[in-house]
Structure 1
Amino acid sequence: MQRREVLELLRDVGAGLLAAVPVLAAAETVRIGLHGVISRRARADWWQQAIADHAATHYSTPPAELLRDLLADAAVLERHIADGVDADRGGLLRAAGYLAGVTALAWSNLGERRQAHRWWQTALDAADQSGDRAAQVWVRAWAVTNGPNIGRQPKESLALARQRLDERPAPDSASCVLLGGLAQTQADLGDPAAVTTLRQLAELTERVPPEVAADRVSLFGWPEVRLRYAQSYVHTVRRDTAAAYAAQDRALELYGPDLPRDRAKVLLHRSRCLVIEGDITGGTVSAVEVLDDLDPTVRLESVKVSATAVLAAVPFDARKLPAVTALGERLAAR
C-alpha cells in the first residue's frame, strides 16, 4: 500500500484504518479478560508476548495493517495501566515503551514524521517511567536508528544515544542497534569516531547469543546482516567506497527474500557510491531500477530517504542529465 492510499484511509475514518481500532480493542479486551480468568497470568506477561509478536511481524506486515493492530493494542494497554488493578505497573509501562516504539516505526514507514516523533516521545517516557534499563536502551536504540527517516537532527540523535550508552555494552540486540545507530549518526555529523564505533559494533556482534544472531526478522534480533548494513551506511556517507562495497557485497549475500526493504536500501547505498565515484548516470539509473523493481508494499519511507541521498550526491552541474531527471521524477511521484 502506497503512502497516498494510506492517507486516504486515514482521512476516510468511516471506512478506514482508524474506524477498526475501537472494535479490535474491544475484542482484545474481552479475549484478555477471558483468558486471564482461565490462566491467571499477569497482564504484563500477556503484553510481553504481544510485543514479541509485533516485533516479529514488523518487516513482513504492511505498515497500515500493522498500525491498525498496534493502535488497537495501545487502547487496551492504556486501560490496563489506568485501572491500577495490576500490581506490575512497571511491567505494563515497559510494554508501553516497546509498543509505542514499534508504533513510531510504523508511522515512519508511512512517511508520517510528526506522528513518528510523537510516538517516540511516548515510548521514551514510558520506558523511563518503567525503570527497566533494557527497555530504555531498546527504545533509544531504535529512535536513533530511525532518526534519518523522520528528519531528526543528528545532534539530537547523538544526545539520545549517549543517554544510555554503556562503557561496556551488553551483548544483546538493543546495544547492537544503539551502537549501529550511533555510528550512522556520527557519520552523518562527519565525525571520524564512526569508524571506531563500527569496530566496537563488530566485536559486540560476535558476542551476541546464538538465538539473537539467528533472529533475522524480529526487532529483537541482531543477525550479521544488520552489522553489514551499518557498515555500508557509514562507509557510504564517509565516501569510503571500497569499504562500502565490501560491506554491501557481504550484506547482499546474506539478505533473503524476507527482507526486500533493507536489501533495496543497501543497493541504493551502492548507487550512491557510484555517483560519489563519478559514474552519475550509472548510479542514478541503478537507483531507478531499484525503485521500479521493489514491490509497492515495501517501497516505504526509509527506501525513499535512501534514494533521495543518491540524488543529493549528484553535483549541481549534472542535475539535468536524463538519468538524474528520471530519478527525481520517481521520487516526486512517491
Structure 2
Amino acid sequence: MLIDGQTLRAERAKAGISMRGMAHRTGISYSHLSNVERGDRAATATVVKAYQRALADKGHVLDVGGEDVQRREVLELLRDAGVGLLGAVPALAAVESIRTGLHDAVGRRSRAEWWRQAIADYGASHYLAPPAQMLRDLLADAAVLEKHVADGADADRRDLLRSAGYLAGVTALAWSNMGERRQSRRWWHTAIDAADQSGDPAAQVWVRAWAVTNGPNVGRRPGEALTLAQERLGEHLAPNSASCVLLGGLAQTQADLGDPVALTTLRHLADLTERVPSEVAADRGSLFGWPEVRLRYAESYVYTARRDTTAAYAAQDRALSLYDTDLPRDRAKIMLHRARCLVIDGDITGGTAYATSVLDDLDATVRFESVNVAAKAVIAAVPPRARKLAAVTALHHRLTVG
C-alpha cells in the first residue's frame, strides 16, 4: 500500500495527535510535516517510519506494507538478537531487491528524485531525532545508495553522487553528535569526495560548510578548517543556507584563530542572511534552512571567542529570544557561551556554576558532543590559578561523569 500525506493526516487525527505534537514526537519540523500532509512534499520512507513510531506509542498501527515493513522487521530482529548498529547494514543490502521492486511497482519517480526527497527528510530530522536512531537509518540507506550509484545509468550517476554527498554529510553529523570523532571525520571525507565527483557546486559548498562548522566537535584543527572553507570562497556565494553556514563556520574558525577578520566575515554573513529566500529564512528546523537565530548564534560564538562580552551578551539575548523550546540543545549552547563570558568577565564561580546548571537542566537525550565542547570551553576560559575552585571542579566532574 502506498502511503500519502492524506492518509498520514487521517491516522494522526485518529490517534489524537496534533500537528505540533507529531513534529515533537518525530523530530521533523512542523513546516515539513505540514507540506507532506498537504501533498506538497512526498511521504517518503523516513517520514512514514517516523509516523509509524509516533502512532505506535499511542497504540495505533500504521500498515504500509511492502519494503518498509520488511526493512523494519529485519532491523528489529537484528537488534533483538543483539547485533550492533553496524550489523544492520549488510542486512538491508540483502533486501535491496524489495525496495527496487516496490519502486518499480510505483513507477512515479526516478531513483535520483527519491533520494533527493530522502535527503530533505533527513535534514528535517537532524536537530531533534536521537542520533543512534538517525545512524541506524542513515547507515542502512547508505548501503542501498551505494548499490544505486554502482548500478545507476550515467544520466543518474551525478545526481546520485550528489545525494551520496549529502547523505554522508548528515551521517558525519550524527556520528559527531554521538562523540565518535574518528568516524565523523571519515564520513566528512566521503561526503566531500562524493560531492566533488557529482560536480554540483551547491553540494560542494554544503558539505564543506558543515564540515567546517562541525570542526570543533570532531577535533578538527582550526587551520585545517580554514583551508577547507577557503576551497569554495573564491566562488560566488549564493544567498542560500549552504553559503550562510560556510560563512558562519569560517567566522567561528577565524575567531578561534584570533584573526580579527572574523568580524568582517560576520558582516558579510549578516548581509547574506538578509538576502536568503523567505522559505529558507522560515525553515527553522532543517539543515537546509537559515533562520535569523543561526546568524545570532554565529555572532555569539565569534564575540565570545574574541572576548568581546558586551557584543556577545547582546547576540545571546537576541538568540535566546528567538529559540523555541523545541531546540533545547542549541539554546543550551548559547547559554554556555554566556557562562564563558561570565568567566571572562571575572565571575568564575558564577560562570562555571551557571554552566553546570545548564547541563543539569538539559535532557540527556539531547546532550550531544557539541554541548560538551561548549561546556569544556567554559573551563578552558578559567585562569590556571582558579582551576581548583569548588564551582570549577564541580563543572569538570559533571563533564567527566556525564
Q: Does 1:138 align with 2:206?
A: yes
- Tell me, yes or no, if the aligned pair for 1:43 and 1:86 is still in contact at 8 Å: no
Distance 1:298 1:267 in 2: 15
Q: Residue in 2 aligned with 1:307? A: 375
Distance 1:292 1:240 in 2: 27
User: 1:28 deviation in Å?
Assistant: 6.1
CA gap 1:29/1:279 in 2 versus in 1, 3 angstroms? farther
Structure 1 window deviating more from structure 2 (24-33 vs 246-255): it is: 24-33
2:285 to 217, 235, 248: 217
Aligned length: 324
Distance 2:154 2:352 in 1: 56
User: 1:223 deviation in Å?
Assistant: 0.3
Distance 1:13 1:107 in 2: 23
- Identical counterparts, % of pairs: 75
Distance 2:155 2:237 in 1: 31
Q: Residue in 2 aligned with 1:4? A: none
- Tell me, yes or no, if the aligned pair for 2:92 and 2:144 is still in contact at 8 Å: no
1:295 to 348, 352, 363: 363
| Helix, strand or coil at the partner of 2:275 | coil
User: 1:273 deviation in Å?
Assistant: 0.1
- One-letter amino acid of the counterpart of residue 148, structure 2: H
Distance 1:299 1:263 in 2: 11
- What do residues 184-227 of structure 1 show as CA deviations (whole Å, max 9, x unaligned)? 00001100000000000001000000000000110000000000
- Tell me, yes or no, if the aligned pair for 1:96 and 1:123 is still in contact at 8 Å: yes
Distance 1:306 1:39 in 2: 48
Q: Residue in 2 aligned with 1:249? A: 317
Distance 1:282 1:215 in 2: 35
- One-letter amino acid of the counterpart of residue 221, structure 1: G
Distance 1:129 1:53 in 2: 23
Equivalent positions of 1:76-87 (< 5 A) are 76-85=144-153, 87=155
Distance 1:28 1:259 in 2: 35
CA gap 1:297/1:28 in 2 versus in 1, 3 angstroms? farther
2:274 to 199, 206, 224: 206
Q: Does 1:31 align with 2:99?
A: yes
Q: Using structure 1 for the length normalisation, give the TM-score.
A: 0.94
1:157 to 225, 250, 253: 225
- What do residues 158-201 of structure 1 show as CA deviations (whole Å, max 9, x unaligned)? 01101111464210000000000000000011000000000000
Q: Which has the higher contact order (CA 8 A, sep 6+)?
A: 1
Q: Residue in 2 aligned with 1:53? A: 121
2:352 to 279, 284, 297: 284
Q: Residue in 2 aligned with 1:268? A: 336
User: 1:29 deviation in Å?
Assistant: 5.1
- Give 5+ residue unaligned stretches, structure 2: 1-78
Distance 2:101 2:184 in 1: 30
Q: Residue in 2 aligned with 1:323? A: 391
Larger Rg over CA atoms: 2
1:182 to 232, 240, 250: 250
Distance 1:222 1:207 in 2: 11
- One-letter amino acid of the counterpart of residue 266, structure 1: I
Distance 2:93 2:325 in 1: 33
Q: Residue in 1 aligned with 2:109? A: 41
- Give 5+ residue unaligned stretches, structure 1: 1-10
Distance 2:368 2:245 in 1: 20
Structure 1 window deviating more from structure 2 (34-43 vs 71-80): it is: 34-43
Distance 2:248 2:97 in 1: 37
Q: Residue in 2 aligned with 1:6? A: none
- One-letter amino acid of the counterpart of residue 204, structure 2: Q
- One-letter amino acid of the counterpart of residue 150, structure 1: V
Root mean square deviation of aligned Cα: 1.7
